[in-house]
Amino acid sequence: MKARKTLRIARWEVSKNAGQFDRRTVAVAAAVLLLVAVLTPLVASQGITLDDGIYRVGVAEDSPYYDPVAEDPTFVAVSPETENADVWIRSDGIRATDTQKGRAALAELRTTVESYNDRLMAAEADGSAAFPVEVSVEYVEQDRVGGGGASAPATRTPDEGEVGLGGSDGSGGDGSPGDESGTDASGDNSGTGDGDGQVGAPSVGSQGSLFGGGQQGTPSDVAPPFPFESLVLAFAFVLPMNFVIQAYASTILDERINDRGELLLVSPVSRGDIIAGKTLPYLLGMVAIASVTAVGIAVLTPAADGAVSIATTAGTSVLAVIPIALLFLASSFVGAMFARSFKELTFVTVTLSVFLTSYAFVPAIFTNVHPVASISPLTLVVRALRGTAVTLGEYAFSTGPLYLSSAVLFALGAGVYREEDMFTQRSVPLKFLDALNGQISGARSVAKLSALSIPFVFVGELLAVALLFALPVELSMPILLIAIAFVEEVAKSVHVYAGFAHARFARSLRSVGILGFLSGLGFFLGEKAVAVAQLVGLPDLELGRAAFGTVTGLGVETSPLVLAGLLFAPLALHAVTATTTAYGASRDRRWYAITLVWATLVHAAYNLTVVSHLG
């Protein structure tokens, strides 16, 4: 690959496509980018506002409750004499309609009044008197007892004279959790519930930043984290990528349909130069958009309190997003090389976009709550925006599979970037087999392709763990073991099937045995790379041990002799199951499907045995 030729092709790609966009298209694209630029900081700073004006509260202007109601956009303040309201605040107490909406409005009003009181207290000069109790929340890994649910928190009996969070000794007096009376702003008990929709409310008297490193406020403010950060980041970073890959895939397919790509094929440049040159402008565009987005969000975060902090935060965020951009481009390149029409390309790119967005978003929901979040590069972005340092090992674990998968996908697409494949009208599955066949040069290449499939297997297994870990173990464990076995058996056998389909190998038992052993050996050697999972504590998670403990034997509590057996037992397993599927592939498609199911069941039974008896 030569840099000069690559840059020339990239410059030609930009100039060619720039003239294809009319003013209307440019205006729409600019409007979308402007919308993203405006909404991202707005949503990041204000949160979800879909419930503005959803409740009507009847309250007089001279009522102490008027200010908190008027300041909360969730409510609309109306006259207390009106009948068309969800909650009424009058001199005789607070009443709500006996409906689900009325009860929800009352609960929201209580939260609003409490927050209003907290803001009044925060404005007091004597902060220690206003908030005598300071709460620091730190999320730690879940403790499990015997593989079951999380263990119960430890409790102790308060010492004599010790004051609880409510400011009392917990005996049920005023202000204690056992006191069931409520006092309104006037200091009497007129707000006490009487069974007719009338209930007490706290006496009248902030939220932290979206990407803050912890929670601040009164003890009542402490709550589990909500994945709103990941929602904003998925919207801000991933959404623009979908527009870029549409343009990128369209230009690849346009050259195939209009036969314009033949001019590049006959030119004195390699396929690597062509692919790199056509990809470079779109990658740089994604990086530029991600950079602007990262700087914009970093300015809004508490961690970004200076120029150095902003640069560090934005730089870490961009480095974390680059592998996602590469994987988007690589997937769309392969999709464009396989699709036969723009309609088929749209289906392929949308499917890939949904899958990749799910992979990036779902694990990031559990940032600072569960080690499964380390799977997604967006977790690194959230941590960087919170001012938390990201180690090289964490970066390698989150992004390494994406880098490797991108490289393999580009290589797969390059295998069909030739005249006999580019301009033929074959279905996507057949093009996929053609691409695999293009990478086969002999029996040894079967082992190479099995090893190169490890990044995709790793990504698939990590996504399965992320999607299933919240379910009960009794349900998620069998599903996970079967899913892992199926993914691995497909990875070991699909290229062997492609070789037999294109008559690369002799359909004999000797050939089947050799190919099966080489495929199992290549997969076994590449599979040891998943030991990196130990760096982030996934084997401490029960599903993590099921997914990766059977691979290396690490995290399995047993004797050294058994561990040595577990280290090499997968080689025999992979060789046997790969030979079985190779035999089916040498017959026909129906036999291949049957042997694939059988190999999956055998593989799942092996994993279940290891997890059940040795885990």
Please provide the DSSP assignment of 153-198 as one string: PP--PPPTT---TTSS-SSS-TTSTT------TTSSSTTS--SSSE
Give 137-165 as a 3 state SS string.
CCCCCCCECCCCCECCCCCCCCCCCCCCC
443's enclosing H/E stretch is none
Backbone angles phi, psi at 440, to 5 degrees: -95, 125
Residue for token digits 């279905």? Answer: 427
Tokens describing residue 257: 């349909």
DSSP label of 372: G
- pLDDT score recorded for residue 515: 92
58's enclosing H/E stretch is strand 55-59
pLDDT in tens, 120-144: 887 777 777 777 777 776 656 554 4
Distance CA 211, CA 302 (A): 7
The answer to whether 395 and 221 have CB atoms below 8 angstroms apart is no
Question: For residue 303, which amino acid is it?
Answer: A
The answer to whether 323 and 405 have CB atoms below 8 angstroms apart is no
- pLDDT score recorded for residue 512: 92
What's the start-to-end Cα distance of the chain, in Å? Answer: 48
- pLDDT score recorded for residue 139: 58
The answer to whether 44 and 300 have CB atoms below 8 angstroms apart is yes
Nearest to 490 by CA among 348, 411, 585, 358: 585
On the CB side of 425, CA atoms within 13 Å amount to: 6
Residue for token digits 């099966």? Answer: 516
The gap from C-alpha 272 to its chain's centroid, in whole angstroms, comes to 31
Q: Indicate the SS3 state at residue 442.
A: coil
Within 392-472, residue ranges assigned H as helices are 392-414, 419-422, 428-438, 444-452, 454-468
pLDDT in tens, 398-425: 888 888 889 888 988 888 887 777 777 7
- pLDDT score recorded for residue 13: 80
> What residues in the chain have per-residue pLDDT under 50?
48, 143-201, 205-216, 224, 226, 304-308, 532-547, 552-556
- pLDDT score recorded for residue 576: 92
Distance CA 334, CA 51 (A): 42
Nearest to 211 by CA among 294, 325, 322: 294
Tokens describing residue 308: 């150095």
The answer to whether 603 and 489 have CB atoms below 8 angstroms apart is yes
Nearest to 586 by CA among 498, 475, 458: 498
Nearest to 56 by CA among 78, 81, 89: 78
The gap from C-alpha 109 to its chain's centroid, in whole angstroms, comes to 34
The answer to whether 377 and 398 have CB atoms below 8 angstroms apart is yes
Tokens describing residue 35: 């919308």
- pLDDT score recorded for residue 517: 93
The answer to whether 374 and 382 have CB atoms below 8 angstroms apart is no
* Spatial strand order in the sheet of 55-59: 75-78, 55-59, 87-90, 93-96, 198-199
Distance CA 431, CA 502 (A): 12
471's enclosing H/E stretch is none
Contacts of 165 (CB under 8 A, 6+ apart): 133, 219
- pLDDT score recorded for residue 167: 38
Within 258-391, residue ranges assigned H as helices are 261-265, 271-299, 307-338, 342-361, 377-385
Distance CA 405, CA 327 (A): 7
